[in-house]
Structure 1
Amino acid sequence: MATLRVGTRGSALAVAQSTTIADRLARATGTDVELVRIHTEGDRTQGSGESLASLGGTGVFASALRTALLADECDVLVHSLKDLPTATHPGLVIGATPGRADARDALCARDGLTLETLPQGARVGTGSPRRVAQLLSRRPDLEVVDIRGNVDTRLRRVEEDLDAVVLSAAGLGRLGRLEAATELLGLGWWPTAPGQGSLAVEVREGDPDDVLARGLGAVEDRETRLVVTAERQVLAGLEAGCAAPIGATAVVDAGLLLLSATVYSPDGTGTVSSSHAVSLDDGPVEAQLVDVFEVSRRVVDELLELGAADLAPIGGGPSGGDPLGSAS
């Protein structure tokens, strides 16, 4: 492999994320690496005025990238994991899950305000149904405004016509803009999107040669794969899209994987939550994933028993297989 081609969206955040992974692949393989910028439907409709959810959710950003990978226009893709549907894509697998960044949401408000100190009726922008539900659950007096655009575009709205916006701390950090955050919202009371803060390196199934396999192995982080798989299995088990009003948080602590998930009604007036844990042995990741699937199934079953399907637009079917595919 003379040059390793890394496919990416053209946004500043996507390029920053892809550049980080490209640099790591180059160091691990000793191979030249180049970025291949791919325009997606989500990028083309940024100025359409339609909400991301109405356009089909965050999966609109992945489709064109995956088409390019299957067409051999690039060798690997770098995604924000929360942007990927949980179902595996035919012919593709997640070859590596790098170490996770900060999974929290960040409030970016004028005058250093926090969620608690925003004035009555403050205008807060977000394009996420989950964040809409969480904002209204905590502060039903807020006026939540649907917004689109890149990070800089959204932050400018705070200077123009909004009191605050909610963004991911990881995205702000990767762009060197974390100073814009006036409050980091704790995962204990504000769970974020399954997989938030994590990247996914996607490759063609059965394709990696020895060089690429070495690079993927250097990028892979086992703990990240376990926790994001647990979170995304909640979405898969509930048959919910990645834009559904669902928050999930998994952590590994003292050999235990702890998984919590909350389903919100779209208007924030109702919630149901479930938390379970599983002990992880020191075996191979494939064996640990079996336990991860089981604890995710328990969380899904309890959420459904508590009435999650009556709150949010979810299918509520049984959990499926590993949404991340093989750890090749």
Structure 2
Amino acid sequence: MGRYKRIGYFMAAFGGMCWAFSGACGQYLFMNRGLNADWLVSVRLTVAGILLTLYSLARWRGKATAMFRSARKVGALVVFGLFGMALCQYAFFRSIELSNAATATTLQYTGPAIVLVWLALREKRMPSKQELLAVLCAIVGVYLLATHGDPTQLALSGKAFVWCMIGACAFAVYSVQPRALIERYDTVPVTGFGMLIGGIALGAIFQPWHIVGQWDAVTVCGLIVIVLFGTICAFCCYLEGVRRIGAAKGSIIAAVEPVTSAILSVFWLGVPLQVMDYAGIAFIVAAMILLAGKDKKPIPEPEAAEQPAPAVSDGAIE
């Protein structure tokens, strides 16, 4: 494995760990400082979007503005901002608010199975046995987390489960849809404008200028961690990892997130997880491991850092 791909794997994994820490911080603020997902996500995306957009205009002015010369590219960016960025993040934090960080994070990671199904349909092929086994593991994991093995009752509320599944679908969109834009215009400009579009849309709905919760130094520090590490750092690292190793592998490697989230939930937040919760997490992580070796085709490495990336990559939706 070349250095180019190794960096991609590391960045996808680091992005996942940053997301896990961000989710745990969000749950802490929900439980102890009275914040809610409506306010937190709209502020998080807007602030991070402004910072990344300003940075993009300062460093990549040509690439950052070139996206807006094509109605098609603008449309793709708006779809990413609304249905990839905003919906993914709102559904994620809404799920945490309604359940807990470990459960919401793990259920979101059925997203790679959705990516797999989409790519199979797009390529007009049947999934392999390994892929089908991975999807089955993901389904079993969702079942155990949602019901604890008893089909007559849900281990989490119906509303929490619905938002978790919405988050998984949005995660799939987020992993696949912007890759062509990122190949052509770079990770940071696409991520920054996507966040800004999503943050403005959520702000128009939830009106975050009406401050909620209890504010002190802990709340401010938690918000800073969520914006800087859980948003800017996590998204840029993850999307750059996806650009280097592909959407399917990127979403799989970032499955370090549910494991990290479970550890933080138990040892930091004191959330009691049952045996069936651990079993569900194990099945979903097993699905990610099964899929990790699916694509054996080597990814050519650029000869130099200045080499332009191809405009459209395999599996991307522009």
State the TM-score, normalized to the length of structure 1. 0.25
Larger relative contact order, structure 1 or 2 (CA cutoff 8 Å, min sep 6): 2
Answer 1 or 2: which has greater helix percent: 2
Answer 1 or 2: which has greater strand percent: 1
State the TM-score, normalized to the length of structure 2. 0.25
